Structure 1
Amino acid sequence: MDSCFIDVTVEFLSVAFHNILYYTSVYPRSIFETRRKYSMVVYHSTHPEVNQYIDLCLKSVAECLKSGQLSRVVFAVTGESHHPVIKFTFDLKKSDHFDETVDAYLVQCEQNLRAFCLSLSSLTSKFKELPEDSSFTIHLHTNESNAVALETNPDLEDFPLVEVKEQTQEAERIIPIRQFSIKNYNFDTYIGL
C-alpha cells in the first residue's frame, strides 16, 4: 500500500473526527483548540483521553490500510446505552482506473479535503438535538483475517478490538457530505440520521 495514501488518509480522518466532535458538541467547546489545516481553521481536542482513543483508532486504521482491507470507517455519536444517534460514514473503494500523473502534488486532494471540512461545518444545524449524555465510538469495517492480525499486533495490545456482529440499521435520513478521491481510492462520505 502506498505510504503517502495512508498518511494523507489517517491525517484527514483525524481532522474529520476532531471536527465532528467539535460541531456535534459531544464535549464542551472549551476543550478544543484551533489549528490550520487544508488552508482553513480546524478544531482539535486537547483532552488527553479523547485524543488517545482517537490516536489508537487511527493506528488501527493505518494497519488496515497497509493490508488493503478497510472498506468503511464509521464515527458514531451515541446516546443512551451507547446507541448510535448519528453516524458519519467514510466508505473507501479502490479505483481500478487510477492515473499516477493526475494530481501528483495532491493539490486537488487538499481542495477536496477542505471542501469536506467546509461541508461539515455547514451542517451544524443537523446536530442541535443530540442527547446531553452523548459519547462516540469509531467502527472499522474490515475482514476477519485482518482483525486477527490487528489483535496480534504488539503496538495495539492495549487497545482490544471488539467484533460486532453484522448489523444493518435503517437510517431515517442520509445526508451526503462529499465524494472525493485520495490517490487511488474513492471516498464517499455521508451522515446517517
Structure 2
Amino acid sequence: MDICFIDLTVEFLAVAFHSILYYANVYPKSIFETRRKYSIVVYHSIHPEVNQYIDMCLRSISECFKTGHLSRVVFAITDDGHHPLLKFVFDFHKNVCFDDAKDAYLVQTEQNLRAFLLKLSSISEKFNKLPEDISFTVYLHTNESTAVAITTNPSLEDFPLIENEENTAESSEILPLRSFPVRSYNMDVYMEMMTL
C-alpha cells in the first residue's frame, strides 16, 4: 500500500470529520478552534474525549489501509437511538492508470481536498433540519480478516471494531460532493440524507 496515500487520506479524513461535526452542530461551536489547512480556515475540536475517539478511528482506518482492504469509510450523524440521519461516504478505488510523475508535488490533490471542504461549508444549510440530540459513528467497510487483525493489534486493543449487523436505511437524497485522485487511488465522496 502506498504510504503517501495513507498519510494524505488519514490527514484529510481528520480534517473532514472535525469539519462535519462543526457544520452539523453535533457539539457546541465553543468546543472548536480555527486552524489553517489546505490554505483555508478549518475547524478542529478541542474536546479531549471527542479528539481521542476520532484519533482512534483514524488509527483503525490507517491500519485497515495498510492491509489494502478498506473500500469505504462512512461518517454518520446519528439520532439519539444511534440511527443514521446523514452519512458522508468516502469510497476508495485503486487507480490503474496512476502516473507517479503526475501531480508529484500534490498541488492538484491539495486543491481537491480544499474544494471538498469549501463544498462542505456551502451545503451546511442542509444540516439545519437535524434534531438537537445527535451524535456520530464511523463505519469501516473491510473484510473479516482485516477486522480480526485490527482487534488483535495491541495498540488498538482498547478500541475494538464491532461488526454492524443493522439493515441499511434507505436514503431520500444523495448529493455527490467530490471525486478525485489521491496518489494511486481515486476517492469518491458523497452525502446521503436518510429517510426518517
Deviation at 1:167, TM superposition (A): 3.4
Is 1:124 paired with 2:117? Answer: no
Deviations along 1:67-90, whole A, 9 cap, x unmatched?
A: 111000000000121111100110
Tell me how far apart the structure 1 counterparts of residues 3 and 73 of structure 2 sit (CA, whole Å).
Answer: 19
Q: CA deviation at 1:168?
A: 3.2
2:34 maps to what in 1?
A: 34
One-letter code aligned to 2:25: S
> Could you list the runs of 4 or more consecutive aligned residues of structure 1 that deviate by over 4 angstroms after TM superposition?
none
The count of residues paired between Structure 1 and Structure 2 equals 193
| Matched-pair identity in % | 66
CA distance in 2, matches of 1:46, 1:162: 26
Counterpart residue type for residue 71 of structure 2:
S
Q: Secondary structure at the match of 2:104?
A: coil
RMSD: 0.8
Pairs within 5 Å for 1:69-80: 69-80=69-80
Gaps of 5+ in 2: none
Could you tell me how far apart the structure 1 residues matched to 2:168 and 2:135 are?
A: 21
Structure 1 distance, partners of 2:169, 2:102, is 38
1:8 aligns with 2:16: no
Residue 166 of structure 2 is aligned to residue 163 of structure 1: no
For 2:91, the equivalent position in structure 1 comes to 91
TM-score (norm: length of structure 1): 0.98
State the secondary structure of the residue aligned to 1:81.
coil
The alignment's TM-score, normalised by the length of structure 2, stands at: 0.97
Tell me the amino acid that sits aligned with residue 145 of structure 1. S
SS, match of residue 178 in structure 2: strand
Give the Cα–Cα distance (whole angstroms) in 2 for the partners of residues 169 and 28 of structure 1: 28
